[in-house]
Amino acid sequence: MLKRTSEDKPRRKFQERELTEDNYKERAEQSTGIIGDQAFKKGFDTYRAKQGENCIRILPPTWDNPNHYGHDVYVHSFVGVSRGSYLCLSKMKNKRCPICEAANEAASSGEESESKKLAVKRRVVYWVLDRNAEGGKKPWPMLFSASPTMDRDIAACTRTKRGQVYIHRKNDGRDVIFKRKGATLTNTEYFGYQLDTEPTAVSDDRKIQDAILDFIEENPIPSTFLFQTPEYLKEVMEGTVEEEDQDLDTTDDSEDEEAAEYKASKKRQKEDTYGADEDEDKDERPAKTKSKSKAKPAEDDEDDEEEDAPWEEDEEAETESDSDDEDYTDETGDDDDEPEAKSPKRVPISKNKKR
């Protein structure tokens, strides 16, 4: 069920969770793996890095007992005829996962390529604000799915000679700046990670900051994940599910009604913060999980590490590889690179300040 603000439900107020220097150090020294994009429920905006310089503010964690400002997820990508991406039921819910079973069967049969393609992989999800948003967009939280390599490199920037920099804090955190170059399967690169020179608040406007923090408190990242049933995933593997059904976690029409209600409540919350806006509907297009891809699989290259950005459009897709990461693969023991699925549409972004 989607979390939403309602008149009969007390509003959850933001409560800052503490992260320690050891939490930051662990992420800065993590091994990295490769992964495709994963599915979120309808109604949430998502962030995609642009060509050139990007500047984001990573928002505080709002789930119970966090040890990082990002939340790990485990995903199977390029699954079935539609090459969709699905959260791993085994890794994330300790349930039977037909895709894991298929990957293991492929490995047992000597089909190493198929086994690697279906193997579970890790990604890290943040709530972020886009500081370089275009078109006068208003600041609002977006889900950003980062590769483990990007997550590691951001965390590494926070460890300075003067001590640990806590970028997630609401009043004295730091914006993260990085660059993207390339737009095709094999040439996309992320580099130049650095922190803004001065600490800042999430927003200069206290009312806006409170609204943003209340929103992520009401919608902790784990509540945004879309889990399919084992039966549904089996149908996907068999090719009996049509692509337009990918973004539903049940076959019940009530889920669409829940998504519509959530979208309406989210719009009301933004209007309460900023006032009515005739262009608001343009900002409320839901994030979709279904995807198509015309990109051909990338050739294996264990010496060439690249970041893979989520929810790419058109022909954009990225790969990355790191052979030293064995912690986040399934029982097949393989960790191989695959092209990302193409996202059907861009999700609008929000503006807080320009760099």
Q: Where are the domains of the chain?
A: 21-283
**The Cα angle at residue 59 between residues 57 and 64, in degrees rounded to 5:** 160
Mean confidence (pLDDT) of the chain:
74
Determine which of 54-63, 154-163, 343-352 has the lowest per-residue pLDDT on average: 343-352
Q: 3-class DSSP state for residue 184?
A: coil
What percentage of the chain reaches a pLDDT higher than 90?
Answer: 45
Q: What is the pLDDT of residues 129-163, one digit of tens each?
A: 999 988 778 889 999 989 999 999 999 999 999 99
Average pLDDT, stretch 182-203?
A: 88
Mean pLDDT, rounded, for 26-35: 44
Closest CA to 183 of 35, 336, 342, 323: 342
CATH number belonging to domain 21-283? 3.90.198.10
Q: Give the 3-state secondary structure of residue 23.
A: helix
CA–CA distance, 69 with 18 (Å, rounded to integer): 10
pLDDT digits over 246-291, tens only? 333 333 444 456 556 666 776 777 777 777 654 444 444 444 444 4
Res 339 pLDDT > 90: no
Question: What gap in Å lies between CA 268 and CA 79, rounded to an integer?
Answer: 37
Residue 119 is predicted with a pLDDT of: 93
Q: Is the pLDDT of residue 235 over 60?
A: yes
Tokens of 202: 């999430």
304-323 average pLDDT score: 37
Structure tokens at 117: 């393609």
196 vs 47, 124, 233, 341, CA distance in Å?
19, 22, 43, 32
Name the strand (E) or helix (H) holding 177.
Answer: strand 176-181
Residue showing tokens 């889920």 = 255
Please give the Cα distance from 322 to 320 (Å, whole number). Answer: 7
